[in-house]
A and B are shown apart, each in its own frame.
Chain A
C-alpha cells in the first residue's frame, strides 16, 4: 500500500472512531477506556513480525520485551474490561423491595443546561 492509501484508511478510521465513541455514555467511560486500551495492544503484531528478522541478541531482547508488554496489554486489558462490565449486568436482589427499584422519571434524559 502506498502512503496515500494508508492515509485514506487513517482518516476514515478517525471519523468512524469519533462517530462510534461519542455515542458511548459516561457510565461506560471507564470500561470504554480499558477496552480501547486493550485494542491498542494490537501493536503486539508489530513485535511478532519484526522478531523473525532478528539477528542479534539485543534485538532478541528488545523484541521479547515488546511482545511481553503487548501481550500483558491485550490479555490484561480485555480481561479486566470483562470483569468490569460483568458488574454492570443487573443481578437479581432477593432482599430488596421491588417497588422501590423503579424510580419514575429518574432516568429520563433532560436537555442539560451545561
Chain B
C-alpha cells in the first residue's frame, strides 16, 4: 500500500520540510487516538492516524538518503500483502493473538533496526556517540524481549503452547541472571564505545530473546490481557528509543504514545484483578490449583435443561448476561445476540455486564458483541451494573467463572480475595451456562454454582444459546 508513495521520486527534500511532515504525522497520530474516545468517531480516528503514517513514510521515502530501492519495494510489498490478507481473514475471536503477533513484529523490527544501525556505525569506523549508542542498546534489548514475548503470548492464545503456566524451578533466578548479564554486557559495550564487539551485540540480542521467552512462558492464559498490554508498552518505548538514536521526532512521539497507552492498560487490567503487575508477571498464578479445590468436589448443585432456562428468561423483566472467555472459545457471540433479540422481542430488558478482564485482552468481549451487532450502549461496565444486580431477575453467566465468584468478596483467604467481581450472586436468579463444574483459571471452586438461586446449564455456550432461542420460539 505504502509503495504508491514511491512515485514522489527520490527528489532531495530539505530537512525542514521533512521535519514539518513528521510534525504533521505525529499530530495526526494524537488526533486519531483522541477520536477513539467514542465509537462513532473512532473509525475516522483510525483513518486519520493511518494518514499520518502515510505522510511520515511518504516524506521519508522522498529524501535523498533513501537507497536500496529493490529491498525497500519488495519488503514493503510483501509486508503490505501479508498484513492485508491476515487482517482481512482473522476471526474476531482470535483478535488477542493477532494483536500479540503484530506487536511482536513491531518489536522485532525495532531490534533488527538497532542491529543495522550498529553495523552501519561500525562499518564507517566511527566512534559510537553514547547519545546514539545507549538508545540503540535499549531498543535492541527491549525490542527483542517484546518480539519473543509476544510470540509466546501468540502461541498460548492460539493454543500452540499450553495456556497454563509453564515454569521450571529456579526460573526467576535464571531470568534475573539473564537480565543482569544483559545490563553488564550493554555497559561493557558502552564503555568500549570506540570499537564495541558485534559478537557481544548479537549475544545480547539472543540473551534478550531467551529472556522474552522465559518471561512469558510462566504466565497463564487468563493473565494475557496484562501481558499483551505490557508488551505493547515495551514495543512503544523501544520505538521511541529508536527515535532518539535516529533523531526522528515522528518515532519519538509515536513510540511514546504507544508506551503511554500500554502502561495505562496494564495498570487498569492489574487493578481489575486486584493484583500488582509484579504478582501477575512473576507469581506463575494458576500453575497449581489452590488447596480448596480438591476438598469441594461433591457439593450439591441444581442442573437444568435449555427449556427450563428459556422459561425462566421469558418471564423475567430484566436479564443481565455476563460473558467470559468461554463465549469466545465457543464462538457463541452471534447465538447469544440472537437469544437476546428474541428475549427483547418478548419485552425483556437485556443488558450485558462486562468485566474489565473478561476474555484475553482489554475490551475483548466488546469487540465480539459488536461483531454480533449488539448495541454498545447495552454493554455495561462492572461498576455501573453492580448496583443494578439486586433488581435483576435473571443473571446469565456464559463462559465466565472467576469474575463472578462471590468468594472474592466474602472469603478473605481466597486466592482471588479482593478482586472486583460482577455481583451476579445478588440477582434474584442465576443461570450458569458451562460445560462442567470445573474450576476457572484461578483453580478455585466458584461458590456461585452451589447457591440455591443458581441453576447450572451444562452445555457449551453456543449450543445452549441456540437451544434457548428455539425453546423461546415455542413458548
Residues of A within 8 A of B (CB): 1-3, 6, 9-10, 13-14, 16-18, 20-56, 58-60, 62-91, 93, 95-97, 100-101, 103, 106-107, 109-114
Asked if residues A40 and B71 are in contact (CB atoms below 8 Å), the reply is: no
Asked if residues A81 and B46 are in contact (CB atoms below 8 Å), the reply is: yes
Interface presence of B442 (CB below 8 A): no
Contacts of B212 in A (CB 8 A): none
**Complex-state Cα separation, A97 to B385, whole angstroms:** 24
Asked if residues A39 and B363 are in contact (CB atoms below 8 Å), the reply is: no
Contacts of B67 in A (CB 8 A): 51-53
The answer to whether residues A82 and B258 also contact, given A56-B123, A60-B68, A72-B83 and a CB cut-off of 8 A, is no
A–B Cβ pairs within 8 angstroms, 25 of them: A3-B244, A17-B260, A26-B362, A29-B362, A30-B99, A32-B33, A32-B265, A33-B99, A33-B228, A33-B265, A35-B46, A41-B102, A45-B56, A49-B66, A54-B68, A62-B115, A66-B109, A67-B71, A67-B72, A69-B106, A80-B102, A85-B39, A85-B43, A97-B345, A114-B420
Interface presence of B92 (CB below 8 A): yes
Q: How far is the CB of A58 from chain B (nearest CB, A)?
A: 7
The answer to whether residues A17 and B380 also contact, given A48-B57, A50-B116, A52-B68 and a CB cut-off of 8 A, is no
Asked if residues A77 and B102 are in contact (CB atoms below 8 Å), the reply is: yes
Residues of B within 8 A of A (CB): 1-2, 25-26, 29-30, 32-34, 36-40, 42-43, 45-47, 49-50, 53, 56-57, 60-61, 65-68, 71-72, 74-76, 78-80, 82-84, 86-88, 90, 92, 95, 98-99, 102-103, 105-106, 108-110, 112-113, 115-117, 119-120, 123, 131, 228-229, 232, 235-236, 238-240, 242-244, 246-265, 268, 341, 344-345, 347, 349, 351, 354, 356, 361-364, 366-367, 370-371, 373, 375-384, 386-387, 420
Asked if residues B375 and A90 are in contact (CB atoms below 8 Å), the reply is: yes
The answer to whether residues A67 and B248 also contact, given A62-B112, A90-B375 and a CB cut-off of 8 A, is no
Q: How far is the CB of A3 from chain B (nearest CB, A)?
A: 5
Q: How far is the CB of B323 from chain A (nearest CB, A)?
A: 13
**Complex-state Cα separation, A31 to B239, whole angstroms:** 20
**Complex-state Cα separation, A62 to B144, whole angstroms:** 14
Of the listed residues B1, B45, B68, B420, the one surrounded by the most CB atoms of chain A closer than 10 A to its CB is B68
Contacts of B364 in A (CB 8 A): 30
Contacts of B256 in A (CB 8 A): 10, 13-14, 17
Q: Which listed residue, B49, B84, B260, touches A38 by the CB 8 Å rule?
A: B49
Of the listed residues A28, A111, A114, the one surrounded by the most CB atoms of chain B closer than 10 A to its CB is A28
Q: Which listed residue, B88, B105, B115, touches A69 by the CB 8 Å rule?
A: B105
Asked if residues A40 and B255 are in contact (CB atoms below 8 Å), the reply is: yes
